[in-house]
Structure 1
Amino acid sequence: MSQPTSLSRRLTARTVAVGALAATVFAVAGCAGSEPAPASTSTSSAAAAEKGGPLDLASVCPATVVMQQDWQPESEHGAMYNLVGEGYTVDTDKKTVTGPLVVDGTDTGVKIEVRSGGPAVNFQPVPALMYLDTDILIGAVNTDAAIVADADQPTVAVTSQLTYSPQILMWDPESHDGAETIEEAAADGDPIVTSGDVIPNLLLSQGIITESQIDTSYEGTPQRFVSDPKILQQGFATAEPYIYENEIAQWGKPVGYQLLSDLGYSIYPEPLAVRKADVTDQADCLKKLVPIMQQSQIDFLDAPEHGNAVILDLVEQYDTGWTYSEGVAEFSVAQQKDLGIVVNDEASGVFGQFDPDRIASIVSEFTPFLVTAGSISEDAAAAIDPESLYTNEFIDASIKMD
């Protein structure tokens, strides 16, 4: 069965183990150290939240608020890691970090635990993890992943973090006559190399590419792109342009790219979701926690130093072969802002709120691709109610980006 795009989200140059890269002529700079650093053991010095106030989570939330990410630590996940306060501890076996949940210097009275995804969980989808372990309250679940899981492991998105997907197709400008768009770069019929067929099928449906251009053999390494610069290859606007220019010595120059969201790749990337039952069962917690998550994303982009420091520390301590440098972290933050990847909801002007029309459009447009890919049956697809995939019930409408 072909994987939906969400399940192959981080098949990029960053995912290659250091040893695998060392075995080739292609080297990526900024590798994590080979020995894990000791876990932090200091205690939080943050001031306690006012009892009963909006930042007091102790009486309404679990003692440890567990959040599951879909990949290893990176700045696209900054809102979660930004809340991990001083005195955190790291489990280098389970790839988790636990510490006081701190909001702008205020201790909320509970702990936060952020769990790494991808190889740390044997690449299991986040909805499956959430139903296997009910300690997980919040999971990062792409809209297409929520569609796939809806029949057996339904999740409800409670706030977005990234507003638009950072997914791109990238190309060598010199090999494509200075092309500035995917359509221009693909016009000569060169291969479109991806790790799944949702993206190429989207482009095929728009007449931008032909079926003969689809190549789903991408394995996340830079070798083919460097040796065959005529191809177009998937990536992320928040990473690959920086990595290829600055950290792959055999390339060392800019790449051309375009956001797939410009061409209808409209899924919400990694919105924060809960199990369907928890919309009711954890409502008191979510009323306070969701606005905190809305604001944390804004705060992280305004002042990313703490969140990125936690991320980079975890990458080093986890020592999985995942390479993530300070340069990439800073580039990611800049791109999230400069490219409009993180913005207010266009329909309401509220940050983190979901647009009902956009959700309905995602279901109607992407479900056929997921059926074609074998990720969901036709019967399950027909039964999906777009309104069941999200709720704006807990959104604080006063929270907006400047």
Structure 2
Amino acid sequence: MTKALSNIRVLDLSRVLAGPYCTMILGDLGTDVIKVEAPGGSDETRQWGPPYANGESAYFLCANRNKRAITLDLKSEEGRRILKELIVKSDVVIENFKHGTMKKWGLDEESLNELNPKIIHCSITGFGKNGPYKHLPGYDFIIQALGGLMSITGSEESGPLKVGVAISDILTGLYSAIGILAAINERNQSHEGQSIDISLLDSQVSALVNVASNYLISGRNPKRLGNEHPNIVPYQLFNTSDGEMVIAVGNDRQFTRLCNVLELPKVPAAPKFSTNPNRIQNRDQLIALLSERIKQKTTKEWCKILDDSGIPCGPINSIKEVFEDPQVKSRGMVIDLEHPKAGTIKVVGSPLKLSRTPVEVRRHPPLPGEHTEEVLNEIGYTLNDIKDLKHKNII
């Protein structure tokens, strides 16, 4: 079956997470992704462990399926010459080298356009191609701090906290995929490529969404609210008799139903609680009332009662519980995958559910240079050429 993007070839020069996550998404959708590393394998995440699956790091396995892997010494003139041959035959080049590296190698935007006028070049950096920080390296932890996310994560008691996954990298990978798909669509009309400048900081600032808007409109610097919501009450974590759960009341009708379930029928009629703006003003008093009732039953009991009443809620699942959840299982969010070294491994499935061109995991996360001979053969290199390149440590 033809996949949604099966006519697209992506040359992936990126490493670690933002770029590889982007190209995995594109690979899931059918693109031919060719991952380029230095001889021996230069994606640092191959060594980021434990845990390992027979020597293969779980971190690398999370973002590199549906790719072919080749090795090239891009510090050598001959290695760059081979890369240029691949660029001529590709649709997209994605890289996350330090600012200036591509230009030093003769692979800046102008040079890429001369090689292939239809090429789409996506550059991922910490801070983008302009501005006073453009030369600085970008790491997710630093971006979460600089981009304001840590200032609103956690509580006043805990102090600033980072999100438990490298969310700035993931957001950047998603924005990169969106930008690439937009450029491909535009190229269908113009028949011209273009460059995409994506930065981790821009992506993180964009993802502040309502918190950013609250500040820009009010001029008030937001505080850390822990598990509370700045614009909706009640919308937070509550303690039950045996643990914790979250309740997310999005409107006054749901609030009335919640109060009825909690046997507090007079509360919604009280002026200080009758509307969401009033509930925000009287947050502490209201939460004290609700918390006292919610402590009287278990998490499981409340989830059943609230679900039956149409009130959004949920338990605080551990990662183990997530992957045991029947809804997660039914959506195919865990996939068994055969790997030549690691054996049968489990990977997270794709959230993209396309009706006619479904996502398919066609390839395991590749070993370093696993497809070098195959790819070079496709662009005209003979077996003797490849042996010579190996002898010179170009591949």
Same fold (TM over 0.5): no
- Higher-Rg structure is 2
TM-score (norm. length: structure 2): 0.24
> Which of 1 and 2 has higher RCO (CA within 8 Å, sep 6+)?
1
TM-score (norm. length: structure 1): 0.23
